[in-house]
Amino acid sequence: MSYANEAHFPKKGDRYNAQITVNGVPFDILPDTGADLVLLTDKEGARLGIDLRMVRDNLHVQGIKGAPGDFKIVPCWVQIGNLEPIQAPVGIASDSEALEESLLGDKGILDSGISATYDQSGVTYRKVTVAGAYRGGGGVSF
């Protein structure tokens, strides 16, 4: 299969958005430079078919809005647009109060050599493929 080197997602009104797949399941998601992980609501997480009772890794998340929430951390295959899928930790909300909407965070994404650029038109994710360059530690720019 051939993968793209870049995925651009136009803004919807004044909001950034992106389309990703997690373990092959598609999601519309809000890119969030302040989120460390990809975080899915409990309803969207349920679409993955993972029995959260069997997941031992927990994370208590305090966001900028509202009360903290509990998440189960699961290693998943995440694909942004048509970029090559990468393995990254995904947090699945333990209940409906933990998260209002799913967020595309940075950990595992930017660390894999993908950069994110935000501008007035939207957000663009790029696979960093400079020959001989360090592939970790991608970045965000505005």
pLDDT of residue 139: 52
Confidence of residue 136 (pLDDT cuts 50, 70, 90): very low
**Looking at the 3D structure of the chain, how many domains does it have?**
1
% of the chain residues with pLDDT over 90: 54
Residue 133 lies in a domain: yes
Work out the pLDDT band at 119, boundaries 50, 70, 90: very high
Q: Give me 81's structure tokens.
A: 């647009």
Instruction: Tell me if 49 is assigned to some domain.
Output: yes
pLDDT at residue 131 is higher than 60: no
Is this structure's pTM higher than 0.75? yes
Nearest-angstrom CA–CA distance, 103 and 142: 18
What's the domain range around 61?
A: 6-141
Within a domain: residue 44? yes
How high is the mean pLDDT of the chain? 85
Residue 96 lies in a domain: yes
Q: Helix, strand, coil shares of the chain as percentages rounded to 5?
A: 10, 45, 50
**Residue 36 has what pLDDT?**
84
85 within some domain: yes
Task: Tell me the CATH number at 35.
Answer: 2.40.70.10
